[in-house]
Amino acid sequence: MYVFTVDQVASRAGEDEIPGLVRLLADIPTSVPFERTVGDEAQGVVRDADAAVTCARRLMTVGGWHIGLGIGSGRLGEQGARSGAGAAFIAARQAVEESKSSRLSLAVRTGASGQQARIAAGDAEAVLRLLGVLIRSRTAAQRAVLALLDDGLSGKEAAERLGVSGQAVSKHRLAARYDEEIAALPAIERLLGRAHRLSVAPEATARPTGAA
């Protein structure tokens, strides 16, 4: 289970962004759709590693969110994310709190106690943070182009939509390292998938040898 808990940054100084967040993530495959849980916080359960990467990319692109991803076992309640329970939900809560001390405001935590699961979650977090550094280095013009490319438009179609030349679109694409990002996404998905497999395996929650 992949559980996202996200908390709006500096919510007291600005408008409520939760409705916009729900719209932003509405088309991502979920087991439990994103919804407000309390105050300026929202939570959702995505279906797989692919959806988790998509969710993280979008949140880092728009900015303004502390992002916590919890991976592991859990139970879905009848009242949406607020009634979910289990290790993944606890890990997501821990992750969002720890994200607040990170420059990228993102953390990944496993609900398992096994060392290999923790290492795998740390590997996924490290690469997602690198992705966040790349995303946040982009200009507004670059982001506008890449948003259209993400929607499936060709370079020519993106240029027509934005009223710019095809050369300008190509320039933004190259400068933003978009092709390199897209090529790296499957690797990030595999890292998250490995963390999930280790987090839900029976041995992942077993006590270490010699533990009391």
Give, in degrees to the nearest 5, the angle at Cα 60 between 110 and 62. 145
The model's pTM: 0.89
59 belongs to a structural domain: yes
48 belongs to a structural domain: yes
More confident residue, 206 or 3: 3
Residue 208 pLDDT grade (very low, low, confident, very high; cuts 50, 70, 90): very low
Which structural domain, as residue segments, surrounds residue 118?
Answer: 2-138+176-201
More confident residue, 72 or 39: 72
151 belongs to a structural domain: no
170 belongs to a structural domain: no
Percentage of the chain modeled with pLDDT above 90: 81
d(CA 163, CA 44): 36
Check residue 202 and give its pLDDT. 67
155 belongs to a structural domain: no
| Number of neighbours of residue 78 by Cβ within 10 angstroms | 5
168 belongs to a structural domain: no
Tell whether the model's pLDDT for residue 71 goes beyond 50.
Answer: yes
**How many folded domains does the chain comprise?**
1
85 belongs to a structural domain: yes
Residue 197 pLDDT grade (very low, low, confident, very high; cuts 50, 70, 90): very high
185 belongs to a structural domain: yes
d(CA 31, CA 47): 6
d(CA 195, CA 193): 5
pLDDT in tens, 149-193: 999 999 999 999 999 999 999 999 999 999 999 999 999 999 999
Strands (E), the chain: 2-8, 30-38, 41-46, 65-71, 75-77, 80-85, 106-110
Residue 210 pLDDT grade (very low, low, confident, very high; cuts 50, 70, 90): very low
